[in-house]
């Protein structure tokens, strides 16, 4: 089979599973958000800080994508919310079929929101529809302000961009204006949050956005 044909059929079967997941979510009135970004950018930390802010009034669960280990799922389980670890066993992105299987292991009837933490990778996760309703891109200042220009698809498909570790802005010479300019090539009003785990209140707008998706 030619590479292009193989690629097309892979994406087509992914699309079928994504539609099944979306139907499952919509049947139960559950909103799903796909959280993407490079390894170590702070996706799990963002979840650790936003989930407790959502706990009043919303029922949240997490699908935790990783290549190996349950390290991140263990961190989420410590928050007392349902979590299912999705192991890709070498795969560099979550597929819709993995997510569909994960959703079937969650108590969907009692949930409002499922947060899907994708595999740490700023590239191919952006190409795979998981049946989610919204996409969040995470970028840490330690990765560099050139990443929105270098990995454009991630920032193009994202509904919102969270910049993390802003307490390290000076140490990294990260140019916030440059990053924002390159992100907003894909939408002049794309929301961008500046956050730091040292100041958990900086993550409140992200939590409020997630809440709004469920109640709005």
Among residues 23, 92, 171, 185, which is the contact residue for Zn ion, using CB under 5 A?
92
- Minimum Å distance from CB 5 to Mg ion? 34
By CB under 5 A, tell whether 44 contacts Mg ion.
yes
- How are strands ordered across the β-sheet holding 192-194? 83-87, 60-66, 113-117, 31-36, 134-140, 160-164, 192-194
- How far is the CA of 204 from the CAs of 30, 93, 212, in angstroms? 21, 28, 12
Report the residue number, 24 or 203, with the smaller CB distance to Mg ion.
Answer: 203
Q: Which partner in Mg ion, Zn ion, none is near 143 (CB below 5 to 8 A by kind)? A: none
The SS3 of residue 66 is: strand
By CB under 5 A, tell whether 160 contacts Mg ion.
no
Q: With CA atoms as reference, report the closest residue to 162 among 53, 41, 64.
A: 41
End-to-end CA distance of the chain: 46
Q: CA 50, 161, 58: angle at the middle one, nearest 5?
A: 30
- Minimum Å distance from CB 95 to Zn ion? 9
By CB under 5 A, tell whether 153 contacts Zn ion.
no
Q: Which stretch binds Zn ion (CB under 5 A): 44-52, 62-70, 118-126, 134-142?
A: 118-126
Among residues 22, 30, 63, 72, which is the contact residue for Mg ion, using CB under 5 A?
72
- At residue 139, φ and ψ (nearest 5 deg) are -135, 125
Q: Which partner in Mg ion, Zn ion, none is near 85 (CB below 5 to 8 A by kind)? A: none
By CB under 5 A, tell whether 39 contacts Zn ion.
no
By CB under 5 A, tell whether 124 contacts Zn ion.
yes
Q: Can you give the binding site for Mg ion, defined by CB under 5 A?
A: 43-44, 72
């Amino acid at each position: 089979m030619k590479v292009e044909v193989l690629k097309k059929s892979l994406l087509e079967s992914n699309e079928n599973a994504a539609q099944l997941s979306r139907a499952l979510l919509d049947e139960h009135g559950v909103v799903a958000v796909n959280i993407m970004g490079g390894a170590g950018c702070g996706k799990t930390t963002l979840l650790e800080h936003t989930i407790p802010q959502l706990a009043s009034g919303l029922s949240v669960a997490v699908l935790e994508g990783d290549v190996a280990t349950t390290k991140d799922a263990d961190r989420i389980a410590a928050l007392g919310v349902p979590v299912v670890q999705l192991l890709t066993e070498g795969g560099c992105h979550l597929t819709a079929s993995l997510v569909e299987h994960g959703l079937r292991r969650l108590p969907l009837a009692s949930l409002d929101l499922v947060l899907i933490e994708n595999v740490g990778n700023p590239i191919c996760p952006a190409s795979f529809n998981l049946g989610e309703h919204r996409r969040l891109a995470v970028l840490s200042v330690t990765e560099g302000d050139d990443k929105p220009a270098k990995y454009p698809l991630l920032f193009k498909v994202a509904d919102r961009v969270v910049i993390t570790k802003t307490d390290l802005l000076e140490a990294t010479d990260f140019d916030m204006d440059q990053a924002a300019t390159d992100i907003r090539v894909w939408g002049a009003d794309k929301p961008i949050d500046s956050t730091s785990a040292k100041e958990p209140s900086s993550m409140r707008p992200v939590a409020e956005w997630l809440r709004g998706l469920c109640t709005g």
